[in-house]
Chain A
Amino acid sequence: DTAVSQTPKYLVTQMGNDKSIKCEQNLGHDTMYWYKQDSKKFLKIMFSYNNKELIINETVPNRFSPKSPDKAHLNLHINSLELGDSAVYFCASRFSDRYTDTQYFGPGTRLTVL
């Protein structure tokens, strides 16, 4: 009954490789995000999708390509991995109404590029 799930949890790979991280939410939310958290714990938004449409692209290198096959899934594909891509990547979905505005985060994917 996990709300937002990500796979894999850990990803260790060589520079130059291409890798994907998958995210699924079973909350029925329309909006999903990808965040990057660096070694200093800074959390920065990368992409936002609303009902399968790209809403935000925060000047992320075009080596990063999000894909949303349906509104429950938002995957992140990274080409030509670089050392600086090492970080923890979080997927999140958002629920908002007149009473609340909450983002639900996945457990994170720790990417290590060697």
Chain B
Amino acid sequence: SQQGEEDPQALSIQEGENATMNCSYKTSINNLQWYRQNSGRGLVHLILIRSNEREKHSGRLRVTLDTSKKSSSLLITASRAADTASYFCATFDQGAQKLVFGQGTRLTINP
């Protein structure tokens, strides 16, 4: 299966702390994307990093990509209660023209 793995499966931290989620994947990629899913809602695109990029920032989000290790990390700084959600990484399979999602990390921010 191409499906990647995310680590940890669940993470609970205090508001204001930083949250780091990791993602590993199996095949060559064109890009890697991170999505957020609030409970009972659809996924929302957060950030994309291309295979020739190593790091990208967007607001409180920082994404890294290591293609030699086939891994990526998402760092959320200064977490807020509203960041409570599930976070998914997804790799785009250019040949099959489809996104392959990881299993997700369930993040809980405690006030």
Contact = CB atoms under 8 A, between A and B. Distances in A.
Interface stretch (A12-20, A35-43, A59-67, A74-82): A35-43
A42 B3 contact: yes
A90 B42 contact: yes
Contacts of A41: 37, 86, 103-104, 106
Q: What's the interface size class on A, roughly?
A: 20 to 34
Interface residues of B: mostly helix, strand, loop or mixed? strand
B104 A45 contact: no
Nearest to B43: A105
B30 to A, nearest CB: 8
A108 B41 contact: yes
Contact of A44 (B48, B101, B106): B101
Interface in B78-111: 86, 88, 92, 96-101, 103-104, 106
7 contacts: A43-B88, A45-B98, A56-B97, A90-B43, A102-B48, A103-B35, A107-B41
Interface of B: 3, 31, 33, 35, 37, 40-45, 48, 86, 88, 92, 96-101, 103-104, 106
Given A33-B98, A41-B106, A44-B101, 4 more contacts: A40-B103, A42-B103, A101-B92, A106-B42
